[in-house]
């Protein structure tokens, strides 16, 4: 048995998230179906995380097991021919048997894009703001995230996780162009809906509805009802997942 990591990207607009759903098409389902067709047996894949409905990934990682060693380059090419146009595989890498796409990851990075102008050709990838918020104040609030580990206030309710603790490694708004800003956040792990809840609450700070100290108190209260409304999913991208290099068997650190 040989385990492989698949690196892929997808436009999430047409999908009910990453995870297989009983009532809608998911990215995981499409990938499992394509792999099962090519390998001529049922193949299960496990993702590094679970993006919500409409959320995109410029880089997602998933693992699967094969009965025997595979030509990773050829398999990636065949998968891309079989998968729909909005899902693309960039590479497949052999890994150690204990490597796990979710539990072996050391960090994940998300980006959330907002625009203050009407942009017809990017409307499905940007959250439109009708007033320019105070991004400097939003960055002051984002900096307080480093002081905490428990992010219950930004977690979807009634999830099956054992802990709501996360370690934030980076969190900041930066300007992309005259009308576009991006919030970039990296952590060792994320809770369900966490990034969108943080962005929505930071936007309340930027609009003057909430102070920086008020944002801090929301984190400390550990109550999702105190935080702001979750930002729309269509402007969120999973952008990176990192792993210890000694998990890989191909010796390619690129």
**Residue 157 β-bridge partners:** none
100: left (phi over 0), alpha (psi -120 to 50) or beta: beta
Confirm if 8 and 91 have CB atoms less than 8 A apart: no
> Stretch 131-158: mean pLDDT, rounded?
94
> Stretch 40-59: mean pLDDT, rounded?
95
pLDDT at 156: 80
What are the catalytic residues?
A: 52
pLDDT at 216: 97
Confirm if 38 and 82 have CB atoms less than 8 A apart: yes
Report how far residue 26's alpha carbon sits from residue 19's, in angstroms, rounded to the nearest whole number: 6
Which has the closest alpha carbon to 195: 206, 207, 183, 205?
A: 183
Confirm if 59 and 9 have CB atoms less than 8 A apart: yes
For residue 189, CA distances in Å to 2, 87, 121, 208 come to 26, 24, 32, 29
Longest dimension (CA), the chain: 58
For residue 94, CA distances in Å to 108, 173, 184, 192 come to 20, 36, 29, 29
Report how far residue 146's alpha carbon sits from residue 169's, in angstroms, rounded to the nearest whole number: 7
Q: Per-residue pLDDT for 208 more than 70?
A: yes
Mean of all residue pLDDT scores within the chain: 95
Least confident of 11-25, 29-43, 199-213: 11-25
**pTM (global) more than 0.85:** yes
> Stretch 157-173: mean pLDDT, rounded?
85
pLDDT at 163: 86
**In the chain, % of residues over pLDDT 90:** 91
Q: Per-residue pLDDT for 158 more than 70?
A: no
Report how far residue 247's alpha carbon sits from residue 244's, in angstroms, rounded to the nearest whole number: 6
Q: What letter does residue 20 receive in the DSSP assignment?
A: -
Q: Per-residue pLDDT for 101 more than 90?
A: yes
Cβ–Cβ contacts within 10 Å for residue 48, how many?
A: 26
Total residues found in the chain within this entry: 254
Q: Under DSSP, is residue 21 helix (H, G, I), strand (E, B) or coil?
A: strand
Q: Per-residue pLDDT for 171 more than 70?
A: yes
CB within 8 A of 129, min separation 6: which ones?
A: 114, 115, 116, 203
pLDDT at 25: 95
What pLDDT band is residue 167 in, cutting at 50, 70 and 90?
very high
User: Which residues in 145-171 are b (16+ Cβ under 10 Å) and which e?
Assistant: beebeebbbbbeeeeeeeebebebeeb
What sign for the dihedral angle of Cα 92, 19, 236, 242? negative
pLDDT at 2: 96
């Amino acid at each position: 048995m040989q385990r492989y990591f698949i690196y892929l990207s997808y436009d999430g607009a047409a999908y009910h998230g990453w995870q297989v759903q009983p009532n809608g098409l998911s990215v995981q389902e499409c990938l499992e179906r394509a792999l099962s067709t090519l390998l001529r047996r049922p193949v299960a894949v496990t993702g590094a995380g679970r993006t919500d409905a409409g959320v995109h990934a410029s880089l997602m990682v998933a693992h699967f097991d094969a009965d025997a060693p595979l030509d990773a380059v050829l398999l990636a090419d065949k998968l891309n021919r079989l998968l729909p146009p909005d899902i693309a595989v960039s590479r497949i890498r052999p890994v150690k048997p204990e490597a796990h796409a979710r539990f072996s990851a050391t960090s994940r990075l998300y980006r959330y894009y907002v625009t203050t102008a009407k942009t017809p050709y990017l409307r499905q990838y940007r959250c439109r703001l009708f007033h320019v918020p105070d991004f400097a104040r939003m960055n002051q609030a984002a900096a307080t995230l480093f002081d905490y580990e428990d992010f219950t206030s930004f977690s979807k309710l009634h999830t099956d996780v054992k802990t709501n603790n996360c370690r934030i490694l980076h969190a900041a708004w930066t300007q992309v162009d005259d009308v576009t800003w991006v919030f970039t956040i990296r952590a060792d792990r994320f809770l369900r809906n966490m990034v969108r809840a943080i962005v929505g609450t930071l936007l309340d700070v930027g609009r003057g509805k909430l102070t920086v100290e008020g944002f801090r108190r929301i984190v400390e209260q550990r109550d999702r009802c105190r935080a702001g409304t979750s930002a729309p999913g269509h402007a969120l991208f999973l952008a990176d997942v990192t792993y210890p290099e000694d998990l890989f068997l191909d010796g390619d650190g690129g």
